[in-house]
Chains A and B, each alone.
Chain A
Amino acid sequence: MGNLIKNELSRAFGSPGFFVALAVGLVLVVSDAVMTIGTQHSDYLAALEGARLGAADGLESPSLWSCYTCWISVRYDTLYATMFYYLLPLLAVMPFAWSLVSERASGYISQIYVRTNRMSYFKAKVCAVFTSASSVAFLPQLINLLIMAAFFPAVTPDAFDSLYIGIFEDNLWAELFYSFPALYSALYLLLSSCLCGLWSVLVMSLGYITKNRIIVLVAPYLFLISLQLFNERIFQYLGGIRGMQLSLFENLHAYSVQYVQSGILIGIEMALMLAASLCIAWIGKREDEL
């Protein structure tokens, strides 16, 4: 089992897909950082200067330019941030979610099945797919936060600025944002990584149903867009019901555009993705690959 995991991990982290996905993610978050610094840093310096001279503008809270409020996941207003979060479910499946379908199509999987237990192989695959997809989500966001920290102070955001920042009291973990922002950022980094990891595992397990690589990797993305459409409309028709964020696109970042995020709902979504992956794998592993 240990060797299997090691082998799968080295294949996942050495695949060209991993480097391409990571490179695209990094280009987008660095571009976002450059744009945000370009528009915000001069305002921040002007506010500091105003505060030093005692001008009226000096009353502006410095927390508006905290590295936590300027972080891509919270600020989320540049073209690059939009592209990063909308492409993330597609980037997350690029490193290794294609492996199962390719191995089934080429017949490589039958070589593995005669040498090892099918469930052990699936577990090793899940481990590799989950970690590679999580890394594609985790590293670019972390780097964006580090770049922001190099240009803006790590001031705890002020709750009075919630109107400008957009994180209100009913947002997920909002009290942490205005008291322990570093913990809040760490939690959102973990949340988006776990969501991407589980999504990638689900996409990978679809490889048991079909042997077409394009269907496995791209068709689930169309399902995510449909879910977003459903999410945007359903609460309007139900009328009077407080809407919740169901869409994976919107749950990947801290700022919620239309509805607030619910921790319970995100937990259910994660459990559903895991359960669906296991069900498909349980059905798929019974197929006669030999």
Chain B
Amino acid sequence: MILRLARCFRADVIASGKFALIWFLVLVVFTMISYFSHYLELQTIAEIAPDYQERDWTFGDCLLTFVQGQSAYIPEDGSRFQLPIVWFMLWSLILYGVLRYPSESLGGFGQLTLIASGNFWIWWLSKCLWCIACVFAYMFVIATSCSIISFLFAGEPSLLACLDVPSFERISGFDYFSNEKFDMSTMFIPCLLVAASLALFQMGVSMIFGPMIAYASSLSWLLIGAYCDIWFAIPRFSMVVRSDVLSASGWCLSECIALCVGFALASIIVGGFMVSRFDRLKKRG
């Protein structure tokens, strides 16, 4: 069984390899553009804020650009919700990277793989493994790109990020120039878990309702996560500013692990049972 699962997984990796390589490049370009825009933002802040202190940038600062996020929105007259666009784009790109292949693999060569696997559940588990491996690979590419960029900008190889440079709006709002440090290594597990659970959820929905509705559902989930702090809004676990280190009512690691693993397992089991009922080989014409 394990051998058949490994063969199925290998077939998935080979079949989706070309697109994954293209998407690696897209993510590298996105990482570079986002960090460059962040760097320009820092330069502009340095010009307009006289008490701003020049300091060395670290690998952690580079990672913080992408997973900083923002606090939950509280509606007030005269202010409106503004989406953390770099964070939103990062997740939109990662989720698009695993959107196409599973639904496309239900036709052509994918059907032969399904027949050759001999058991639907082996085929389904290999798809789930592929999905998790793919998003982990995308995260690895982003982290590697960040390390290269921080090296190019003569940054320190440290995972400690300084929480003083979020965005322009915060100049007047918060204790902006604090020297508080955040250890970015604490974000690795939450980000990987969020990526895996979102990707598995999207794949399950994609197999049942189609890729368009699956992508719209994932985006809705991201928007809910960005807007508020509801317990099921899993994407909030990938935001540094919502963690219990920075916010009294923030999320903690145990909560993140329990919810993400729960949603991932639910997506695998419910998705598997739902898809297993379909006529995947179009036997009824």
Contacts and interface: CB of A to CB of B under 8 A. Distances in A.
A79 B44 contact: no
Contact of A236 (B41, B77, B100, B224): B41
Contacts of B80: 76-77, 166, 255, 257
Contacts of A226: 89
A222 B96 contact: yes
Range of interface residues on B (Cβ < 8 Å): 35 or more
Contact of B223 (A86, A163, A229, A258): A86
B28 to A, nearest CB: 15
A40 to B, nearest CB: 11
A84 B95 CA distance: 20
Given A24-B216, A228-B85, A236 B168 contact: yes
Contact of B85 (A221, A229, A236, A237): A229
Contacts of B228: 79
Interface residues of A, number: 39
Given A79-B227, A257-B80, A222 B219 contact: no
What does DSSP make chain A's interface, helix, strand, loop or mixed? helix
B89 A217 contact: no
Contacts of B93: 222
A83 B220 contact: yes
A214 B210 CA distance: 10
B92 interface: yes
B41 A86 contact: no
Nearest to A229: B85
A23 to B, nearest CB: 11
B211 to A, nearest CB: 5
B171 to A, nearest CB: 12
- The CB with the most chain A CB atoms within 10 A, among B80, B86, B99, is that of B80
A214 B211 CA distance: 7
B254 interface: no
A20 interface: yes
Interface of A: 17, 20, 24, 39, 76-79, 82-83, 86-87, 90-91, 94, 163-166, 212, 214-215, 217-219, 221-222, 225-226, 228-229, 232-233, 236-237, 239, 255, 257-258
28 contacts: A77-B80, A78-B75, A79-B223, A79-B227, A83-B224, A86-B83, A86-B223, A87-B216, A87-B223, A90-B216, A90-B219, A94-B212, A166-B77, A166-B80, A214-B103, A218-B96, A218-B215, A221-B92, A221-B215, A222-B89, A225-B85, A228-B85, A229-B34, A229-B89, A236-B44, A236-B168, A255-B80, A257-B82
